[in-house]
Structure 1
Amino acid sequence: MVDYEAIIIGAGVIGPVIATSFARQGRKVLLIERDWREPDRIVGELMQPSGLRSLRALGMIQAINNIGATPEIGYTIFYEGRKVHINYPSKADVAPTVPLKSCVFDGNDKVLDDDTLSAKDFEDDEFERGASFEHGKFITNLRNIAKAERNVTTLEGTVTRINQDATGVHGVKVKLPNGDIKEVTADLTVACDGIFSKYRKILGEDNVPTVESHFIALKLKNAELPVRNTGHVILGTEFSPILVYQITPEDTRILCAFNGPTLPRDIKGYLRQNVLPNLPQELQPSFEIALKDQVKTHPNQYLVAKQNDIPGYLVVGDALNIRHPLTGGGMTVGLNDVVLLMRLFEKIPTFSNREQVNEALLEFHYERKNLSGVINVLSFALFSLFAANDENLRILQRGCFKYFELGGTAISIPVGFLSGLIPKPFLLTWVFFKVAFYSIYCNFIEKGLIWLPVSIFQIFTILFTAAYVFTPYLYREIFS
């Protein structure tokens, strides 16, 4: 006799959502978190429309309410004095959200009116919407939703060991705040302990993320945003991309990419020299003030999802799969994974039937690739272009911006990938190389006839560069 049907390790974004969903399926769940205080992080603050749709399907969309969240209608991209606005897709152009019957009830799949969000705007607008918010407050809301479920028991403590033998995983040992050790058993143990997961290695000793770049973060107070209710992406040939988005009525997050495995020694000096001069004029005063405060950093990691093939064990969220945070896709991938898991697990009466669970997890591994492949590949491909550090990448960067300036499907399809609403990896491949060929065309026009021999040679170097930054990630994501 086990203590619980499922044990969840970690109460970040994914843990409370899985715990709540399992509980609503009638399963007895233990949710373990080492620190239940409100967290303070600089990522997980902007949710794409597909992530919000997942929360709708799970009956947890109201986690974005009453935290000062900002509705987002799309992106504004700035490039060398020019800008282009990119709206999120029309609701008519994407498949409708399909709720999980066990999870949705009493209108819990609808956004409520509060001081910053309008239910009418979210429900009746013809376009999809995203949202940005303070990460810690969002997590607190998710945790409170989970705690309200009668089938969820919460525990503060640090998991010190996964109990595993030749037949699989059977539970955990937990060190409580008073130093006592508690042993708990379950049919299914779920590790969702984030990007710094201690327990992803159970799937394989080589299951370790790589770090190739960083984000440097500041919080701007009462910043004057050039375009309200949009994420700002600031690009240039001489600096790495900069992201700006509002997280509360008073606070705006700015994330400054640094393209390198180690951060500069003088981070504030780097920001003054490389970031400040390239910001829109409206943002510069609040940025200068913010430089007097604490600067936070975040490693940008990459980890391909490894198949969950150990009986009684599931790894999900950033513990399973990490991509570059440039496109804000982490929560989207994680929450879509939860929806897929819940649809598969609905067919399983009890997790004690490990053969059925393993079959579901095998299906999960391959079914998730359509969406996760698009989000993950796009995140690194765009970062390579936007952080262009050689001539071929700069040509691709200019061509990408000019492609967006064409409007129409040159905007609607790429933002469909970005928002997680077009989960088609091979369509992404077609569009990416379409942008590469358009970049080659623009390069011909810019250089003119006098540079024709150089332009012809660059056809091959540009295509090689495009393939080099795109296809390795596509191969890993789709065929792993």
Structure 2
Amino acid sequence: MSGFEYEAIVVGAGAIGPAIAVGLARQGRKVLLVERDWREPDRIVGELMQPVGLRALRSLGMIQAINNIEATPATGYTVFYGGEKVAIPYPYKSDVAPFKPLKGCVFDGNDKVLDDSTISRKVFEDGEREMGVSFEHGKYISNLRKIAKNESLITCLEGTVSSLIENHGEIEGVTVKLPDGTKQNYGAALTVVCDGIFSRLRKSLNENHVPKLNSHFIALKLKNADMPVKHTGHVILGPNFAPVVIYQITPTDTRALCAYTGLQPPKDIKKYLAEEVLPYLPESLHPSFKEAMKDQLKTHPNSYLTARLNDIPGLLVVGDALNMRHPLTGGGMSVGLGDTVLLLKLFEDIPNLDNRDAVSEALLEFHAERKNLDAVINILSIALFSLFAADSYNLKILQKGCFKYFQRGGDAVNIPVGFLSGLLPKPYLLTWVFFKVAFYSIAVNFLDNGPLLLPLSIIQIFTILGTAIAVFTPYLWKELFT
């Protein structure tokens, strides 16, 4: 390792850090995993794992991180609109390729879930459809950390990385401020930065690598909620509010995330929820939602950040530090874990990570190959948020058309849920389907307007298409061509 104490230093032990540290250790590499606070975290996002994320955990031999935390199985989504609802179940296993285990990572059945109080091995392993899962974020992260701590080649350190160690334009490690206030330098062939959405180190990749705030989530925790459709995520659309996402995270707790399009949360959050959101929720959720409103409510900023090429020798930025999307579709952990699996595959044939040329070549390939999954999940999150928030007349037409499109069933559901689940990573197919929905929305609008408003309907063809193009194409360009 050319004198380095560690082959890799991983900064951050959140949703991605332990996974990449474990994968590197199972490749025989000595790893330092640095985390500011090893206590169980308390967060209001990162609680829903899409099927592609679970498949990544299988590849890493870490799927049992969802066990023994009272996690709730998820079979798909239910979308509510105008007093109607439509089911969007996850794909059949027979329709997607089987997962591929990473070399050295899968052993002793660690790619399969265990039976516990809420997870059924038979359902997850032998069921016909792919599964998702929701859970308390902190308990899941604690399980990931336990797996990392059990790896003999991983040293876990508590401290805050205050800076990266740079030498002639290359990164050779980190300076860590320890709990006693002292600072210590640690060297490594590769420094992996995955310190999350509020990353302090992402700008080391580029000064302009900063996220753009686009909305907020208002979070409530419902107690003993009467969910209209068990084991599905609920997406609720209404006339005067951005979408509400509701999913069960334990047998007694249900998370409600109420999106808000402003750059600041509403001044009177409880009044907004009571007057604009509550009346349009399914009736069975009203008692638990009202009770949850009495508690202290939390908010969470939602931001977007396009990935940049990792082109600084010795530095790898990954996870939300590299790339962010709207959390509406629950794709953040899936992208990060998918990136982790891809990186580890590319590193398999590199004996030592101090081979700068080989690592740089692998990271160039990583930047290109990750775009399929990354683009689909990121673009879909932005496009669906825009349609479901529907803060303009044309977007409301597209919103209604999208719901009517789902009601057709068959491929009108199967293909979109393939994108949503991360199991259909085809950005150009996503483009085709998005504009297919736009044209379907135009047809629905023609029928709604009737023959007397034919001139208006013709004009609206262009305004609706213009809105669809404005919503979709800038992000398509950013994700695929930057």
Deviation per CA, 1:270-310, whole angstroms, max 9, x where unpaired?
11111111111000100111111111111010000010000
Partners of 1:292 and 1:69 in 2: how far apart? 25
Task: Determine if the alignment matches structure 1 residue 3 to structure 2 residue 12.
Answer: no
Report the secondary structure of 2:220's partner residue.
strand
What is residue 191 of structure 1 aligned with on the other side?
193
Partners of 2:216 and 2:123 in 1: how far apart? 35
Candidates 410, 418, 421, aligned match of 1:416:
418
Aligned partner of 1:441: which letter? A
Q: In the TM superposition, what are the counterparts of 1:48-63 in structure 2 within 5 Å?
A: 48-63=50-65
What is residue 138 of structure 2 aligned with on the other side?
136
Deviation at 1:328, TM superposition (A): 0.3
What is residue 222 of structure 1 aligned with on the other side?
224
Deviation at 1:463, TM superposition (A): 0.3
Q: In the TM superposition, what are the counterparts of 1:30-429 in structure 2 within 5 Å?
A: 30-429=32-431
Partners of 1:199 and 1:37 in 2: how far apart? 22
Report the secondary structure of 1:179's partner residue.
coil
Deviation per CA, 1:161-209, whole angstroms, max 9, x where unpaired?
1001224000011111111111100000000000110111011111000
Partners of 1:167 and 1:205 in 2: how far apart? 14
Aligned partner of 1:235: which letter? L
Partners of 1:355 and 1:41 in 2: how far apart? 39
Partners of 1:217 and 1:296 in 2: how far apart? 5
State the percentage of identical aligned residues: 68
Unaligned runs of 5+ in 1: none
Aligned partner of 1:301: which letter? S
Partners of 1:446 and 1:266 in 2: how far apart? 36
Aligned partner of 1:258: which letter? Y
Deviation per CA, 1:354-413, whole angstroms, max 9, x where unpaired?
110000000000100000000000000000000001110000000000000000000000
> Aligned residue pairs: how many?
480
Deviation at 1:269, TM superposition (A): 1.4
Deviation per CA, 1:204-232, whole angstroms, max 9, x where unpaired?
11100000100000000000000000000
Partners of 2:273 and 2:23 in 1: how far apart? 43
Partners of 1:353 and 1:178 in 2: how far apart? 35
Q: TM-score, normalised by structure 1?
A: 1.00
Aligned partner of 1:241: which letter? P
Aligned partner of 1:244: which letter? I
Aligned partner of 1:406: which letter? R
Deviation per CA, 1:425-476, whole angstroms, max 9, x where unpaired?
0000000000000000000011110010000000000000000000000000
Partners of 1:319 and 1:466 in 2: how far apart? 29
Partners of 2:283 and 2:190 in 1: how far apart? 53
Aligned partner of 1:31: which letter? L
Partners of 1:322 and 1:121 in 2: how far apart? 32
Q: Is the 8 A contact 2:63 2:111 kept in 1?
A: yes
Unaligned runs of 5+ in 2: none
Give the stretch that moved more between structures: 313-322 or 267-276. 267-276
Q: TM-score, normalised by structure 2?
A: 0.99
Partners of 2:112 and 2:312 in 1: how far apart? 37
Task: Determine if the alignment matches structure 1 residue 475 to structure 2 residue 477.
Answer: yes
Partners of 2:191 and 2:112 in 1: how far apart? 31
Partners of 1:363 and 1:148 in 2: how far apart? 31
Report the secondary structure of 1:115's partner residue.
coil
Partners of 1:347 and 1:294 in 2: how far apart? 51
Report the secondary structure of 1:300's partner residue.
strand
Give the stretch that moved more between structures: 147-156 or 158-167. 158-167
Aligned partner of 2:474: which letter? P
Partners of 2:326 and 2:275 in 1: how far apart? 24
Aligned partner of 2:411: which letter? T
What is residue 464 of structure 1 aligned with on the other side?
466
Deviation at 1:238, TM superposition (A): 2.0
Q: Is the 8 A contact 2:223 2:254 kept in 1?
A: yes
Report the secondary structure of 1:77's partner residue.
strand
Report the secondary structure of 1:239's partner residue.
coil
Partners of 1:165 and 1:4 in 2: how far apart? 17
Partners of 1:264 and 1:465 in 2: how far apart? 26
Report the secondary structure of 2:39's partner residue.
coil
Aligned partner of 1:304: which letter? T
Deviation at 1:237, TM superposition (A): 2.7
Report the secondary structure of 2:124's partner residue.
helix
Deviation at 1:268, TM superposition (A): 1.4
Report the secondary structure of 2:133's partner residue.
strand
Partners of 2:50 and 2:246 in 1: how far apart? 15
Aligned partner of 2:62: which letter? M
Give the ranges of 4+ consecutive aligned residues of structure 1 lying more than 6 Å apart after TM superposition: none
Q: Is the 8 A contact 2:238 2:277 kept in 1?
A: no
Partners of 1:301 and 1:102 in 2: how far apart? 36
What is residue 434 of structure 2 aligned with on the other side?
432
Report the secondary structure of 1:331's partner residue.
helix
